[in-house]
Amino acid sequence: MGVLVLLALGGPVPVCSAQAPPSAVPDLVSAVDAARLYADACAACHGARGDGRGPAARGLGLPRPRDFTAGVFKFRTTPSGSLPSDQDLFRTISQGVAGTWMPAWGTRLTEAECWALVRYIKSFAPTFRTEAPDPPVPLPSPPGRSRELISEGPWVYAVLGCAQCHGERGRGNGPSARRLSDDYGDPIRPYDFTRGAYKNGGSPEALYRTLRTGLSGTPMPALEPSVLAYAGGANADVAGLRRRLPPAEFDGAATYLTREPNAAELAAMSPAALDALVERRLWALVYYIQSLERRPSLPYRLLREDAEAAVGAARTAAGKP
Ligand code: HEC
Ligand code: HEC
């Protein structure tokens, strides 16, 4: 609030929100006393040694503050299993992690301070000294929302088994939901898509990033293109689908798969056509889960009605109530 007022009055503006590379501010960064800043702003939670065992951590519940020594980070543009890029760490520090104790520092620190902290927290994990992060996965700009994409979404969701953890209606209550734990042995719940306020961002771009890169250290997997290029037609895994899905969902999903390219057709596709197919399925998923938010803005509400109407129509076509 105070910060908003300052902004409105043209006072000191938040500066830890730039996307400039750290090399753009080297002198300022080296002038920052990063150890002191870390001790003041971060150590209470993340611990003086970066092991996530700061004095305040115990009282905060789950998720625990990250143990930086492990070198495993959830929010990345880099592939699953890779270290994050400096930009990734910068983004997290600037934006914080919605719904957790991790504050957004963008309005409290300068750009140079945030870059200095990126460098400092990397020093806790030995892997940063021996490995380089993989190049970021390509993050294309979103196609517009369309009725076609939104109506395909529920079937991509069904075929890929998201419901196993996130539940049939995306409420975070799938059959596996209560048995999941993260890499540190702490229980972790799948996200409830009706809630909004995603940790890693709720824009189409951010959701795409989450789906393509997964959340390392948690059961949330990355969707590789090979997974998204599932075969339909005669090669569809209909038996697997029947096992996983309730009958009402099964018929619609099976019908959807009969219309999708089979294994021979996938093999004959040009790389560009295959990419386009994989992209289409990914964006369908993005717009679908976004449409599940419970109190969405008007455009989303209209889109959700579209999605529900599409599911309803597909069910009717499949002879289900
Ligand atoms: C009040 C407690 C608290 C403070 C203070 C705090 N953090 Fe965090 N931080 C957390 C929690 C909790 C998480 C774990 C969020 C999750 O796993 O969803 C986290 C996660 C992170 C992550 C991991 C993101 C990822 O991709 O996995 C980074 C990086 C981070 N914090 C940096 C910092 C820095 C730098 C500071 C100081 C400027 C700081 N934090 C201060 C609680 C805190
Ligand atoms: C094995 C269980 C599991 C499966 C399968 C799974 N997820 Fe998740 N997902 C999780 C967990 C656990 C989290 C919460 C991670 C956290 O809070 O750090 C999560 C979080 C998410 C988030 C929220 C990220 C954020 O920014 O807060 C999205 C979006 C998501 N999953 C989408 C999907 C989609 C779409 C599928 C199907 C392709 C899927 N998930 C499959 C377990 C799973």
216 lines ligand 2 (CB under 6 A): no
| Region class of 191: left (phi > 0), else alpha (psi between -120 and 50), else beta | beta
Residue 297: per-residue pLDDT: 57
What is the chain's mean pLDDT, rounded?
Answer: 89
Residue 314: per-residue pLDDT: 55
Distance 162 CA to ligand 2 centre (A): 8
223-232, 233-242, 267-276, 298-307: which has the minimum mean pLDDT? 298-307
Q: Which two tokens stand for residue 287?
A: 């717009």
Residue 15: per-residue pLDDT: 77
Residue 133: per-residue pLDDT: 98
Q: Which residues contact 10 (CB under 8 A, 6 or more apart)?
A: none
| Segment 303-307 mean pLDDT | 59
Distance CA 39, CA 128 (A): 21
Could you say which ligand is closest to the alpha carbon of residue 214?
Answer: 2
Q: What is the pLDDT of residues 202-243, one digit of tens each?
A: 999 999 999 999 999 999 999 999 999 999 999 999 999 999
Could you say which ligand is closest to the alpha carbon of residue 197?
Answer: 2
Q: What is the pLDDT of residues 83-131, one digit of tens each?
A: 999 999 999 999 999 999 999 999 999 999 999 999 999 999 999 999 9
Distance 112 CA to ligand 1 centre (A): 18
Distance 137 CA to ligand 1 centre (A): 24
Indicate which residue's Cα is closest to atom 13 of ligand 1.
65
Q: Which two tokens stand for residue 228?
A: 């998204």
> Amino acid letter at 193?
F
Residue 199: per-residue pLDDT: 97
Residue 13: per-residue pLDDT: 56
Residue 123: per-residue pLDDT: 98
Distance CA 52, CA 71 (A): 12
**Could you tell me the maximum CA-CA distance found in the chain, to the nearest angstrom?**
69
202 Cα nearest atom in ligand 2? 26
**pLDDT band at 312, cuts 50/70/90?**
low
